[in-house]
Amino acid sequence: MTEVSVDFSPALRGTEQSAPLLQVEDLRVEFRTRVGVAKAINGVSFEVNSGETLAILGESGCGKSVTAQAIMGILDSPPGFITGGEIRYRGVDLLKRTDEERRLVRANKIAMIFQDALSALNPVFTVGFQLAELFRKHRGMSRADAKKRSIELLDLVKIPAARQRVNDFPHQFSGGMRQRVMIAMALALDPELLIADEPTTALDVTVQAQIMGLLGELQRERNMGLILITHDMGVVADVADRINVMYAGRIVEKAPVYDIYAKPSHPYTKALLESIPRVDLKGQQLNVIKGLPPNLTRIPAGCAFNPRCRYTQDVCKADPVPPLHQIQPGIASACHFWKEVRGE
Amino acid sequence: MSDVVLETRDLVKHFPLTRGILFKTKIGAVRAVDGINLQLHRGETLGVVGESGCGKSTLAKLLVGLEKPTSGSIVVRGQDTSKLSGEAIRRARRNIQLVMQDPYTSLNPRMTVGDIIGEPYEIHTDVAPKGDRRRRVQELLELVGLNPEHINRYPHQFSGGQRQRIGIARALALKPEIILCDEPVSALDISIQAQVMNLLDELQKEMGLSYIFIAHDLSVVRHIADRVAVMYLGKVVESGTDVQIYDQPTHPYTQALLSAVPVPDPTLRGHRDQIVLEGDVPSPANPPSGCRFRTRCWKVQDICATQEPLLQISAKSAHPSACHFAEVRDVVHATQ
């Protein structure tokens, strides 16, 4: 029997360790549907480094999950198409590489966890098999070794009785435990960047606290970069270093976490902060954002937020779209009237 | 008191677990709701909070009459609904209406908005005579902030927030005194949540409605509720006014639940009193003996396994709390 030689060294040619972990530059994605072209992402740029947590905050349909899918290379295509921009991992533009090379990056370098662990896991295989598969396919381990590593991983994410539970099927786990299995799977091959797409939205608050605690711990231990995609401003306040707020496929505000809550620079961020009830305050007046997020096939001219904004003037209603104004180092707002919004 | 509009007395709902296909034998029961006493006063909002599996939604189904209680009773305006039959049940149900969680699946996609909101009048024909219904429906649409001209549109032509308004309009059609909201905003985006909560608030002031507001989001409940009951595994573990529950919680479960809610203020990061619970909620088919929370509680002692704590006022708790060691601990504001 001849051994088929497979190269299990997951190096991607051309990367430079000194380059930033991930840089997204002017990314554009559209979905070509029967009812028209939906412009899901319209020029998004950001950067994440090792050990850092970047939160992408926004409501449904703002393009935050599509951004993650584009980075991972798991965008449904068709109907989704990346129409422009660059996604650079350690200096290498992934969009210019072959599917084979991208597969090297996936799970090895950049991994992702999803909102709904039950539908992300395969229901007909044990979690042990699904974990071991990663080691067998990507690292060429034997079944026995791969199983041993799977048990270690389940231990790492604090699943009790890992040795027994490795033989259980996904439906035999509770929601929180399933999310732990997903985290174990994402961390299996020691990625440098983890993308967490609404990791705790489907969970109860006490379980959410457990999972966010675990994620933070693992991130610190491994000095991983983390992109946290969420709509929950409470979770963001607890864990993020920097925040990008998205609206209608664009980043409308970028700021460090302390600045954004203390002094938002975009009317949308400000309105969001005023519209969420807080558990530690009583009798606060909730400020309502009137209207609805725009239909992505018909994004309003000018600033996409102008029909719902209380600062709107004529300049907001006409193209060009307001660019991200640099206010201070690290703080930027895509609003003509950021001074008024900040009360300066 | 005369202003109590709804009361439950030792309300119990067990779902039998059976084995076998032809000859079913009962091997146990899921004790979804296990002895609940609640009182709802006129014009107030009672919040019911708890994690998934604690029996909140079963409670909602019992209250609107979609499930029959195993034992105990539901008294609406002094009338025990379990003792009613036929026409009387129908009349009683009119008084308590439900707003459901998911506005995408709770509206029939083949019916127009006018038909959906007007459907209650088909059953309760005496509320609105036939010729008057369309006008009534349009009034309701206007009341919940929708355009009355959209009466002939279908649910898919509306956004999530607007659909939830349609659900609210349908609940208001029979002029009930009590509206039961089962997670009414949890499926909505944050900017839309506030719109719907404010609408509920306005309707309550205008029409003197009483709400039972079931939710897992403690921040939302704090915003809207006057009194709060905290449920765990089919039982109420603590109840009181919103200030008592949120600022002076005495039951360890309430404290853990509150401390787990993230606060949108990064300056409090690391300064809040955070209690991270171990493990998961036990199965309601086989709840722990004594206190049901004892398997996850950090205060647990021998008495907790043998003696079930009663929901009562004690020396250290000014409001009812079902814990042997109830003691105030302000987890929401405490900073270390």
The answer to whether A58 and A64 are in contact (CB under 8 A) is yes
Least confident of A11-25, A302-316, B286-300: A11-25
Instruction: Give the whole-number percent of chain B exceeding pLDDT 90.
Output: 43
- For residue A180, is pLDDT > 80? yes
Both tokens of A142, joined, read 């034997």
Q: Residue B216 and residue A205: Cβ atoms within 8 Å?
A: yes
Q: How many residues does chain B have?
A: 336
Q: Which residues pair with B332 in a beta bridge?
A: none
Q: What residue of B is the nearest CA neighbor of A242?
A: B266
Residues A71 and B259: their CA atoms lie apart, in Å, by 35
Q: What's the mean pLDDT when you consider all of chain B?
A: 88
Instruction: Give me the pLDDT at residue A110, please.
Output: 92
**pLDDT grade for B153, boundaries at 50, 70 and 90:** very high
Instruction: Give me the pLDDT at residue B254, please.
Output: 93
All domains in chain A, ordered by first residue: 22-240 (3.40.50.300), 247-342 (no CATH)
Instruction: Give me the pLDDT at residue B1, please.
Output: 45
- Mean pLDDT of the region A100-110: 86
- For residue A36, is pLDDT > 70? yes
Q: Residue A258 and residue B195: Cβ atoms within 8 Å?
A: no
- Mean pLDDT of the region B40-67: 90
Name the residue facing B276 among A175, A210, A275 (closest C-beta): A210
Name the residue facing A59 among B190, B259, B260 (closest C-beta): B190
Report helix angle A127-139 to A143-156, nearest 10: 120
| Residues in contact with A71: Cβ distance below 8 Å, sequence separation at least 6, in sequence order | A22, A24, A87, A94, A110, A195, A227
| Three-state SS letters, A230-281 | ECCHHHHHHHCCEEEEEECCEEEEEEEHHHHHHCCCCHHHHHHHHHCCCCCC
In angstroms, the Cα distances linking A85 to A171, A238, A272, B161 are: 40, 31, 29, 34
pLDDT tens digits, one per residue of B269-298: 877 778 888 777 888 888 899 999 999 999
Instruction: Give me the pLDDT at residue B28, please.
Output: 83
Distance of CA B268 to the CA centre of its chain: 30
More confident residue, B331 or B320: B320
- For residue A129, is pLDDT > 50? yes
Q: Residue B260 and residue A206: Cβ atoms within 8 Å?
A: yes
Instruction: Give me the pLDDT at residue B241, please.
Output: 93
Least confident of A195-209, A256-270, B210-224: A195-209
Instruction: Give me the pLDDT at residue A27, please.
Output: 95
Residues B107 and B20: their CA atoms lie apart, in Å, by 36
| Residues in contact with B39: Cβ distance below 8 Å, sequence separation at least 6, in sequence order | B4, B6, B7
pLDDT tens digits, one per residue of A60-82: 888 888 999 999 998 888 888 99
- Mean pLDDT of the region B86-95: 83
Residues B18 and B8: their CA atoms lie apart, in Å, by 28
DSSP reduced 3-state for A298: coil
CA angle B176/B179/B181 to nearest 5° reads 160
The answer to whether B238 and B293 are in contact (CB under 8 A) is no
- Mean pLDDT of the region A149-177: 88
Q: Residue A262 and residue B191: Cβ atoms within 8 Å?
A: no
All domains in chain B, ordered by first residue: 4-19+28-248 (3.40.50.300), 249-336 (no CATH)
- For residue A234, is pLDDT > 70? yes
Per-residue exposure over B45-68, b if at least 16 CB sit within 10 Å of its own CB, e if not: bbbbbbbebbbbbbbbbbbbbebe
Nearest chain A CA: its distance from B218 CA (Å): 6
Total-model pTM: 0.84
Whole-complex ipTM: 0.78
Instruction: Give me the pLDDT at residue A9, please.
Output: 54
Instruction: Give me the pLDDT at residue A5, please.
Output: 45
- Mean pLDDT of the region A3-9: 50
